[in-house]
Amino acid sequence: MESKLEVIVKAAELMQYTMQVTSNRKRYPVKWLNLIQRLQNTCMEIYELLLDSNRLNLNTAKAARLELQTKAISSCDKLSCYIEMSMNLKIIGSKTVEHWQKKVNDVKYMTLAWRKNDSTR
């Protein structure tokens, strides 16, 4: 398996975008620090889970690999919720949400396809 799957590249892009958006104090004032930390930590967790999953050998650690992929998918769902909450709290606008959610969904659906492929092997 290649060392950098496309989904890992997309997860890194998601992480970078999340950091850029949440580090802008005009968008995310300090009073939303807890939400900022959750957004940042969750996107980093997604990247780490996918990277760790890719490093596990499918022949010897299939269950562990599938579990990491599932956790990454769940983390994508959490991140989506935090992004939606940010919009509902009027911290960010719908255009930012649309762009951000596309990045999250790209990672989520690529991971779902990867997990499905791994589970049938």
* CATH code for the domain of 114: 1.20.1440.60
pLDDT single digits (tens) 41-98:
999 999 999 999 999 999 999 999 999 999 999 999 999 999 999 999 999 999 999 9
Residue 1 lies in a domain: no
pLDDT single digits (tens) 20-53:
999 999 999 999 999 999 999 999 999 999 999 9
Total domains present in the chain: 1
Q: Which domain holds residue 104?
A: 6-119
DSSP letters along the chain, please? --SS-HHHHHHHHHHHHHHHHHT-TTTS-GGGHHHHHHHHHHHHHHHHHHHHHHHS-TTT-HHHHHHHHHHHHHHHHHHHHHHHHHHHTTSS-HHHHHHHHHHHHHHHHHHHHHHHHHHT-
